[in-house]
Structure 1
Amino acid sequence: MVTNTIRYGSAPTPEHSMAALVTAAGVNRESTTTSVTTLMITTPSFGALHLVNSSNLYGDWIVPPADYILPNTSVNVVATSDNENDFPIVLTYRSDDGGIFIFSASNSKSRADTSGTFAPDDHDVTVTMTSGYPSMNVTYVLR
């Protein structure tokens, strides 16, 4: 079950601002617009999540996905891309009990969304997207 809660207008934290990430990545160019997507995944105490697959077809990882996420923790994933048309990121994690969790985000000039995010029936994930192109910030909270 997925519960989507989208809130626009909230300011991202200073350490995750687009300018700081673009400068850190060394991709600040005048001729193209660099988009940055920041994902934060927060887990409850039900067990660890183990990375099964990660996809960032048109971009580069600044902070790559964690191989595992321990219970009661939050992790950040940060990616950047010069592709203005499509910037999808999909992370697939498996829980200790075998459940599959999919964290999906897509960022482009035409849309910013998190469709495709999935949690097993016995879990819930609240998704909050605080901004869109070129700087997308998404928080996933598992329950």
Structure 2
Amino acid sequence: MKNIKHIMLVSLLLFLSACNRDLADQDFPSPDISYGKEKIKTQSIVRCWGLEDCQKKQESTDDVIAIEELTNLIEAQGDSNISINFSDPKPDTINYKVRELDDEYMSVSKDDSILVPDQKGIYTYDLLVYWNTNKGQTEGEIVYSFQVERK
């Protein structure tokens, strides 16, 4: 009986420590973004990383990477999907906008993909990604940007 209580206590402590992750102690993840089998390279701006850093941060700004700094342009067909995957730590929210089409960010679909526009042109995507504590506080905010050319 004493052994079972000990095991339960250790299990509870391990569970609670896993719930209280501190992102400041981890490297921020690079997403695996792809179109078919082709990987899409992103560039990022870390707005804040770690609970303390995010609490010090002022209002959310619209920091984005200048189009001239984006170096990896991939070609894509219209009405096809770009998939987005993150390794641990997985984000709580992924929003995106296409600079040439959208003024506001939209939520990424439940299957973690976004649609390539049907009209031909070069499109710049900004992913606004959030990591939150179990209490809903922001503890990570990063913008990832990339470009796609719709042929």
User: How high is the TM-score relative to the length of structure 2?
Assistant: 0.34
Q: Rg: which structure is higher?
A: 2
Q: Whose helix fraction is larger, Structure 1's or Structure 2's?
A: 2
